Copies of this chain bind each other. A is one copy, B any other.
């Protein structure tokens, strides 16, 4: 199955699944274990404690579902809502679209607040809706923190402020798939009721754990939520938490040890340093794009994402051709433009366990590809812009000082 072999490392710059550090690969290189032995619950206990730190919550209850982000979405919705419930949801790109599709198929009544792709969530429309909803028919507000398709980050603190302003009791549900553990995210401070992410994103693991974190209000809501659910039901997990055995069904032993290693790396670097590193990589990427004379899909600076940059190509270029060439000639994996922006943007993921020189290698590759496809880029220009910024801002590696 290595018929696609190319020499050297694959340069993985899709916005997930991302590069797995060797420490995590090592931790996962192991036989199965009996998950009912004392060892696995003891490990699980540390994971549940430590996962809360990356959500910045002390009151939340985390769940480690053997699933993907899509499953985590489903768990968030079905545990807190009942069919027919009215919810407000922001459509700003492909992943918010998919979540909304799920919300509708699960029989919720969704008020969709749509933005142009490349713009952030229209929070003023939310405010208006909440203001009008004096009966509190809106049961939840759903928002994607960082829209991976367009590289747009929404300001969640504003959502909370609006909810508070109208003293609205709607639950606040957040897709943090491409943000948590990479961008500034504060579950408790922002009063988020359910937040979720996937193991293959900022945590830099393989796909396979959908991490869902529920506030006390969300847990309370789950007691009466009528959406049918079994696999994704929090109740079964809570039962086994109380028993101290933690697992209603078989977890992936390898991913649990991998998660342990991944969390250890985050804490060794320091969560704030991790976030700062993502800021640095995001800014460097944007400077390169600017130097190339290309536009960021994100329309305003306030929405700029530090985990993924969607780059708009000129109309005479098919961005899918850029992605194809990247893979075929440079062993570089870039993100396609999806749905409305297919052919129009390509995406550079810069999240997870990644450093500056890896990014600069990617940027140098993108420059060559742009030239390949006929865009008159000055080779080295983006790298120069990025490295000028980085050379001033990269800290020493703490453990090596």
- The residues of A with any CB-CB pair to B shorter than 8 Å are 1-12, 14, 16-23, 25-39, 42-43, 46, 66-71, 73-74, 83, 101-102, 105-107, 198, 200, 206-208, 227-233, 248-255, 257, 260, 265, 268-269, 274, 277, 327-333, 335-336, 353-362, 364-365, 367-368, 371-372, 378-381, 383-385, 387-388, 390-391, 394-397, 399-401
Contacts of A21 in B (CB 8 A): 7-8
A-B contact pairs, 20 of them (CB 8 A): A4-B38, A5-B268, A6-B397, A7-B353, A9-B358, A12-B31, A17-B33, A17-B253, A20-B31, A22-B30, A32-B206, A38-B327, A73-B231, A107-B228, A231-B232, A330-B357, A331-B355, A367-B387, A380-B384, A381-B384
Q: State the CA gap A29–B254 with chains docked (Å).
A: 11
In-complex Cβ contact of A20 among B18, B32, B357 (8 A): B32
Contacts of A254 in B (CB 8 A): 28, 206
Nearest CB of chain B from residue A173's CB, rounded to whole Å? 15
Nearest CB of chain B from residue A37's CB, rounded to whole Å? 6
Nearest CB of chain B from residue A94's CB, rounded to whole Å? 12
Q: Which residue of B lies closest to A371 (CB)?
A: B391
With A105-B230, A367-B387 given, is the CB distance from A34 to B396 under 8 Å?
Answer: no
Contacts of A14 in B (CB 8 A): 34, 36
With A37-B327, A357-B330, A379-B387 given, is the CB distance from A252 to B207 under 8 Å?
Answer: yes
Q: Is the CB of B7 within 8 A of A269?
A: yes
With A14-B36, A20-B31, A364-B357 given, is the CB distance from A67 to B70 under 8 Å?
Answer: no
Q: Is the CB of A364 within 8 A of B383?
A: yes
Contacts of A253 in B (CB 8 A): 17, 206-207
Q: Which residue of B lies closest to A14 (CB)?
A: B34
With A22-B31, A249-B70 given, is the CB distance from A9 to B6 under 8 Å?
Answer: no
Contacts of A10 in B (CB 8 A): 31, 33
Nearest CB of chain B from residue A63's CB, rounded to whole Å? 14
Known: A5-B397, A34-B327. 8 other contacts (CB 8 A): A4-B37, A7-B353, A25-B29, A26-B27, A67-B71, A198-B250, A380-B383, A383-B383
Nearest CB of chain B from residue A68's CB, rounded to whole Å? 5
Contacts of A329 in B (CB 8 A): 394-397
Q: Is the CB of A250 within 8 A of B69?
A: yes
Contacts of A384 in B (CB 8 A): 378-381, 383-384
Q: Is the CB of A381 within 8 A of B380?
A: yes
